[in-house]
Amino acid sequence: MLFYRVCNTGSQQGLWYDFDGNFTGNIHTQYNFCAHTNLLMDYDPNIVGWLSAAQSFDQLLQWFPLKDIIKLQKDGYCVHIYDCDVHKFYEKFEHPIIAQDKITLVNKMILSY
């Protein structure tokens, strides 16, 4: 099954946490222009090893509008498309999460207006 995620192309770091599950909070400081900068995704030890994702590109755009993604691309972030058969719905934040050790990168999308 395909999943969509905004993350750094080099480190695969997201905007709340790095790839190792350590909180960075970059969306609250360095990238506070993002639509969901006020969303607190507090630490949950039960999902370390899982990555936040969306089940479609349209669903991803609800979290990260096109203008945000394009601006993030300047710092090495883009839309990563992963294939992953191990996933579940994370009720607390109402989005899918995918098993980090079971993902296969399918494509990276560079967007423009």
- List b or e across 4-43, with b for residues whose CB sees 16 or more CB atoms inside 10 angstroms: bbbbbeeebbbbbbeeeeeeeebbeeebeebeeeeeebee
Q: Is the pLDDT of residue 113 over 90?
A: no
For residue range 1-50, list pLDDT tens digits in order. Answer: 999 999 999 999 999 999 989 999 999 999 999 999 999 998 999 999 99
**Contact yes or no for 68/78 (Cβ under 8 A):** no
Residue pLDDT, tens place only, 76-93: 999 999 999 999 999 998
For residue range 91-103, what is the model confidence (pLDDT) as tens digits? 998 999 999 999 9
Model pTM?
A: 0.94
